[in-house]
Amino acid sequence: MPVLGAVLTLSDQVELRSAALAYLAGEPRIELGIAARGRQPIVLSTDSRAQDKALWRSLETLGGITHIELAFADFSDLQNEETPS
Amino acid sequence: MSEEEASGGAALQIGFALILGVAVLGFFVGTGDGEDLRNPLVTHGVADEEVTPAPGAMPSYAMIRGKGRGQDSDWASERKALSAGGSGEALVGKTAALTDRAANRAYDGAPPTIPHPVRQRAAAECLACHEDTFSVRGKSASAMSHAEYASCTQCHVVSEAPMPGAMLPPDATFAANSFVGMVSPSEGERAWAIAPPTTPHHTSMRENCMSCHGPNGRDPMVTPHPERQSCQQCHPPSAGMDQAPGGAR
Amino acid sequence: MTIDTDRRTFLKIGAMAAATAAAAGTPSDADATGLDPELRKRMGAGVTWDKAPCRFCGTGCHVQVGVKNDKVVAIAGDKLADVNKGLLCVKGYHVGLALYGEDRLRQPMLRVNGELQPISWDKALDIIAERVELDPKGFAYYGSGQWTIPEGYAAQKFMKGGLTSNHIDPNARLCMASAVTGFLAAYGVDEPAGCYEDLDKADVVIMWGNNPAEMHPVLFSRIIDRRSRGQEVTLIDIGTRRTRTTAHCQHYLEFKPQSDLAIANGIAHLLLANGTWDKEFVDANCSFRTDSEPRGLFGDAMSFEDYKAAMAEYTPERVEQISGVPAKDIRMLGDLFGRKDIRITSLWCMGMNQHTEGTAINTLVHGIHLLSGHFGKPGDAPTSLTGQPSACGTAREVGTLAHLLPGGRLVAKEPHRKDAEEYWNLPAGRIDGKPGFHTLKMFEDWCTPKSKGGSIHTIWVQVTNPGQTMPNRNKLLEPGVKDPNKFMIVSEVYPTATTEIADLVLPSAMWVEKNGMFGNSERRTQQWFRMVKPPGDARDDCWQTIAVAKRLFDRGFAGMKDKDGKFLFHIEDDSGKAVPIWNWSNYYDVNVDKHLFEEYRLFSRLKHKDLAPYDEYVKARGMRWPVVETEPGVWRETKFRFSGFDDPYVAEGRAIDFYHSTTGDSRAQIWFRKYTDPPEMPDAEYPMWLCTGRVLEHWHSGTMTRRVPQLARAMPQGYVELNRDDAAELSVDNGEVVRLTTRRGTLDLPVWIDGRGAPPRGSVFVPFFDERLLINFLTLDAHDPFSKQPDYKKCAVKVSKLSKTTAGR
């Protein structure tokens, strides 16, 4: 199961920002860390590579998130994984 | 040619062909893999072509790239210690560097005072060390940050009294000055998270960026990309103080 | 596929740690958490920038002043300024700090029983009014080449138009007076014809006893930086000691003090002997002049033959004998001046002006430029450099001298007095036709008790420090200080050697704490606006004069009324309503500077020193007069005066026109004046020469610069430069304290061998910036007969070894 640590840069428009945070808070596979200066650390913890990719893509397309950077990735617990489509 | 020799030769030829074939195959296999290295925004670990090795097997280069930066137990504990500390290493260093710089400058943009004795009537000796950067035993003589002027000591004076002899006791009120000089922000503004920062200081007398930001500069100010020579192409100066039209009167 | 939960948790912790660290550690905007909060407050955001000329020397560089929260926080060179093009010197870079010495004067103070006690401004104004009323003819005003133009103009009008007194003189009397008389004797009108562009074009630049590397650094850089661009410039240092300037020169001609007169004559001699003088130029534009009997400023006409005969004596060998400069070097100078294919600029400052024959040497150097035709083309110029930021703009042009009126007029001339009475709307006869006391006389008289004929009872000092800068202080200051009937009012910004002896101290606003205008060395008038408020209850010098005038007006002093009974400084706003500018809280309701300047401008036409409207100077980084309106609203400055290609007042068809010629025929005067010994020379008892002067780091008496840490640390203390061999002979080590004695005083100073300057054997040099080591107790007050400027550069001293190690008196 991929575990990713990422840093999100959130939009400075209030509505978009709150919507994004609401989504993140509601998503069980995402854990929110303590924001520093408008930058939000999160952990994505999914069951498969495919899920992980799908979740990442959803963040990329979310309006209130202007940028995502990866800080940490661990795939060491994935075994006999198929090449993702 | 004997029959034995002929068959041996044929085997050899087949062997060569096989080796050649494998080599060619290997060549294509080797060059065919790997993610697109030219796209810097592709962060490691989310490339499409990522595969994981079987447990215990050696990962291919493609796999290593695609794997992302995992951590071992040492690194994990280091990271925890760092994050427990609060601010990152880099910032502490930057404050120290800026404070050190400010020690011999009345304000950001002032000509620094000379921290070593100089010959009082010398003409061009300064350039011996300050034309380009000159480093010895951890101390650096920074390169002039501005174009060459012939009279260095017109703007740069020594930090300590140049004349010999016992000084009169300093006047109690003299040289006590409440001026507080401007400092530039420690970082430039970025349009978005990893955009190149604007130059947070005016560039008058600081046209040579490498003087402070080059390889011999103070540690956190050193540019991570010294190979790029045209600084202002990405790091524009601040119009407010560079007397751009509409800026200063 | 499931995973071990513990491991997963562990990974998630690690992931969060990494992400958090990355979030905190990667800069994303200008807010720098983790930076010292004090440091963060001082960041460049919120700083506003505006232009101003530098507070210091006569170069007149423009600076950009960075202001935040009503404080100056930074300085930068003004890139748009023609004078300095973005470059400054160390004083200019630190000029902002000059405002913030912690002992700024904030409150008026009156000396009671020997101690200065705070009093109100209201009381102070009354006290000054009382001193005027005591005897208006005994009230004197000592002003400054650091006065802004409006400040000087207000004082001028107050004294000459209000008190009917001509006892107003500036400290420029100690600095530029001989340059003025030199210009007048040669051209009939003051101030250089050329400008700084000459420095860009000259092939040869000659320094006549000055040290521009330290004293006009930005101008000197303008010359030597040409070499970095591949241009060849020959620099010649004619000096009495080696300085920083010498290091940049190809030739150093060491001369005995005063023998600059012989050197100049030596050049003239060679031009004539070699036939290389510019016959065409001289025939068209010059006449010859010599001293009359008795000597007068304008002398007598001289024929060319007589001129030639008089110069015959000054052969290179004879000049070598007098000056110590080798004959071959005199020939080199003669050859250079004889060439037509090069441009020569001569620069000088205090070496030639602080000279008992200052007028003479000034006219002689003008003379060799005129004789050789090295005049009037860019690069060919005899250029007197001014020391103070507005000795030209204020003292000389506004005429705050005992014998002048604004715009080059003389109190002694009735038509000139009539002009002033007209512009000032005064009743006829208000202005006194008799010149007042020049500076030395003013102080000498103040030091003389009334019973012995000393008529000056009060001197009001503004923006200068006579306590430190008057020569022969034991004679020209101490007696007055001790006399209880004498009174000194001092408008100052810091405690100085003068406030120490003052009876009334008035705290003043400084530089960008007030509106102002200066006029620099190249006829460039420059303007600035107030940017920060002065500390405590410090107020503009100009306001002080106007407030005193109003106090007198209110007390019925007739002189403060004009012809129609209106207050002399009556100012109306745009709607025609009178503004009570004598109330400090109303002073900036209008721009008083602008009103005064627009009135003063009227005076500037007579001598063709035309000034533009105030608002033009607001827009520009200064403009060089004469400024003429070529079309409505378009103002054009003049770079090269008297030259047909640029000066609009040159008569049609002429290449050169000296339209203020003393002989009324468009000709300048080439003077013959002979070499004479200085009044005091080394002898058996006082065997060495004493020279005084300045250093780069300190502006004049150091009251501002010694409070700037960077400058004070770089040059913390006075000293005496002693030649290495002289030191050996005296068994004196570097740093050892020695005693200097002249006929006038004694001072103990530490020795500096091969320091900033290197005097030759038999000569010492002492800088005058250190008020704790006041060299002017030792200097000579002998002065030039025409300019009345004293000679700080040469007197006789003896140097003796001491056993004690503390410097002082």
pTM of the model: 0.81
Higher-confidence residue of B68 and C793: namely C793
Contact C44 B108 (CB under 8 A): yes
| B48 band by pLDDT with thresholds 50, 70 and 90 | very low
Question: Measured between CB atoms, does C50 come within 8 Å of chain B?
Answer: yes
Contact C22 A40 (CB under 8 A): no
pLDDT at C199 over 90: yes
Which CATH number characterizes residue A58's domain? 3.30.70.920
Q: Count CB atoms within 10 A of the CB of residue C599.
A: 18
Name subunits touching C (3+ CB pairs < 8 A): A, B
pLDDT at B194 over 80: no
Asked whether residue A85 is assigned to any structural domain, the reply reads no
Token pair listed for B65: 């790239």
pLDDT tens string C628-656: 999 999 999 999 999 999 999 999 999 99
Nearest CA in chain A to B72: A74
pLDDT at B75 over 60: no
Asked whether residue A63 is assigned to any structural domain, the reply reads yes
Contact B80 C14 (CB under 8 A): yes
**By three-state DSSP, how is residue C294 classified?**
coil
- Cα B139 to Cα C484: distance, rounded to the nearest angstrom: 62
Contact B46 A78 (CB under 8 A): no
| C545 band by pLDDT with thresholds 50, 70 and 90 | very high
Average pLDDT over residues B101-124: 86
Contact C76 B170 (CB under 8 A): no
In this complex, which of A39, A69, A81 lies closest to B52 when CB atoms are compared?
A81
d(CA B53, nearest CA chain A) in Å: 8
pLDDT tens string A14-60: 788 888 888 998 999 999 988 876 678 899 998 888 888 888 888 88
Asked whether residue A10 is assigned to any structural domain, the reply reads yes
ipTM associated with this complex = 0.84
**By three-state DSSP, how is residue B212 classified?**
helix
Asked whether residue A56 is assigned to any structural domain, the reply reads yes
Name subunits touching A (3+ CB pairs < 8 A): B, C
**Residues 6-35, chain C, touching A (beta carbon < 8 A):** 7-8, 11-12, 14-24, 26, 28-29, 31, 33
| C677 band by pLDDT with thresholds 50, 70 and 90 | very high
**Helix extents (H) in B110-198:** 127-130
In this complex, which of C73, C711, C757 lies closest to B157 when CB atoms are compared?
C711
The number of distinct structural domains making up chain A is 1
Q: What is the pLDDT, as a whole number, of residue B39?
A: 40
Asked whether residue A83 is assigned to any structural domain, the reply reads no
| C259 band by pLDDT with thresholds 50, 70 and 90 | very high
Asked whether residue A59 is assigned to any structural domain, the reply reads yes
Q: What angle do CA C470, C471, C472 make, to 5 degrees?
A: 120
**What average pLDDT is seen over chain C?**
94
With beta carbons under 8 A apart, name residues in chain B contacting A84: 48, 50
- Catalytic site positions of C: 91, 175-176, 350, 387-388
List of long-range contacts for B89-96, beta carbons under 8 Å, 24+ apart:
B89/C25, B90/B220, B90/C25, B91/B220, B91/C25, B91/C32, B91/C33, B91/C34, B91/C35, B92/C34, B93/B219, B93/B220, B94/B186, B94/B187, B94/B220, B94/B221, B94/C35, B95/B186, B95/C34, B95/C35, B95/C36, B95/C39
What percentage of chain C exceeds 90 in pLDDT? 92
- List Cβ neighbours of C705 (8 Å cut-off, separation of 6 or more): C91, C94, C98, C697, C698, C699, C711, C712, C769
Nearest CA in chain B to A55: B46
**Residues 42-71, chain A, touching C (beta carbon < 8 A):** 42-45, 47, 69, 71
Token pair listed for C112: 């009671």
d(CA B32, nearest CA chain A) in Å: 16
pLDDT tens string C706-730: 999 999 989 999 999 999 999 999 9
With beta carbons under 8 A apart, name residues in chain C contacting B122: 247
Contact C8 A5 (CB under 8 A): no
Question: Measured between CB atoms, does B85 come within 8 Å of chain A?
Answer: no
Q: What is the pLDDT, as a whole number, of residue B249?
A: 55
A74: containing domain? 3-78
Contact C42 B180 (CB under 8 A): yes
Question: Measured between CB atoms, does B246 come within 8 Å of chain A?
Answer: no
Higher-confidence residue of C52 and B129: namely C52
Detail the DSSP E strand segments found in C54-108: 62-68, 71-77
Asked whether residue A39 is assigned to any structural domain, the reply reads yes
| B193 band by pLDDT with thresholds 50, 70 and 90 | low
Token pair listed for C239: 């000096």
- Cα C718 to Cα C735: distance, rounded to the nearest angstrom: 11
In this complex, which of A4, A73, A75 lies closest to B52 when CB atoms are compared?
A75
| B35 band by pLDDT with thresholds 50, 70 and 90 | very low
Asked whether residue A84 is assigned to any structural domain, the reply reads no
pLDDT tens string A53-70: 888 888 888 888 888 888
Contact C19 A3 (CB under 8 A): no
Q: What is the pLDDT, as a whole number, of residue C1?
A: 41
